[in-house]
Structure 1
């Protein structure tokens, strides 16, 4: 059986991506796992929840196109066979889209990076914390 590893990537956070590379490569070597890279383009209501409702937000198709291109560049940094890299670009709220993608694959493991905590998130970033709480498979959180 081929394992499926889901790796959510925030294409705007290159430092976080660098931290997961060795972990993903090591886990993917076990059972020659497929690695599903996912980036999520937040929709307008998500921006509004962050207090950015009045900001000039580019067209969603333009955002998605840029995100797909950046995700391909990021995935190329991972030393994995190309036939084991699958790229996904979706629209929605990050935590919900990550959880739904993990469920639909179904993923055997989610490897997610997390920001250093602050007073609002205590221990994990809010997206990572939601994934840990609600995922139906193991989650490896990288800091």
Structure 2
């Protein structure tokens, strides 16, 4: 059983965090810390000018509220919102927080994933802890 599990969560139509959250419940020690993380990809500079004022702040508040709501399903959990490259931020947070397991969902790879690698694949290759990949 793991004492600190990191669970990356994507908020889009293609990802449902239910399976990852259920796996986390099964893998967690009774007093385990669970960290739910969402990584916001950097918005390209040319796109910023098309965003309404306050868009980024409102998006961050909404995403954090969604993470906090998911965290309520665990006794000892927190939601963390990061910005940057998803794989890099997940790996950095795992190191910073001392996570001993990462539970991450994967999707069927597309052509682009074969060239640059999916987030889950990069996490598996570079993590310094156990990684459970869900399909």
Q: TM-score range by the shorter chain?
A: 0.7 to 0.9
How far does residue 112 in structure 1 lie from its aligned partner after superposition?
0.6
How does the TM-score come out when normalised to structure 2? Answer: 0.82
Q: 1:3 touches 1:34 (CA, 8 Å); kept in 2?
A: yes
Which ranges of 4 or more aligned residues in structure 1 deviate by more than 4 Å?
A: 52-55
Which residue matches 1:133? 125
Q: CA distance change for structure 1 residues 24 and 109 in 2, over 3 Å: closer, same or farther?
A: same
Q: Distance in 2 between matches of 1:133 and 1:105?
A: 19
How does the TM-score come out when normalised to structure 1? Answer: 0.77
Please report the RMSD computed on the Cα atoms of aligned residues, expressed in angstroms. Answer: 2.4
Structure 2 unaligned spans of 5+: none
Q: 1:16 touches 1:115 (CA, 8 Å); kept in 2?
A: no
Q: CA distance change for structure 1 residues 12 and 33 in 2, over 3 Å: closer, same or farther?
A: same
Matches within 5 A, 1:1-143: 3-13=3-13, 15-28=15-28, 30-45=29-44, 53=47, 56-57=50-51, 59-76=55-72, 78=73, 80-81=74-75, 84-122=76-114, 126-143=118-135
Q: Distance in 2 between matches of 1:142 and 1:23?
A: 9
Greater strand percent: which structure? 2
Structure 1 unaligned spans of 5+: none
Residues 74-131 of structure 1: CA distance to partner in whole angstroms, max 9, x if unpaired?
333x3x21xx111111111211110100010111000011112223325xx7111111
Count, aligned residues: 130
Q: CA distance change for structure 1 residues 53 and 25 in 2, over 3 Å: closer, same or farther?
A: same
| Secondary structure, counterpart of 1:86 in structure 2 | strand
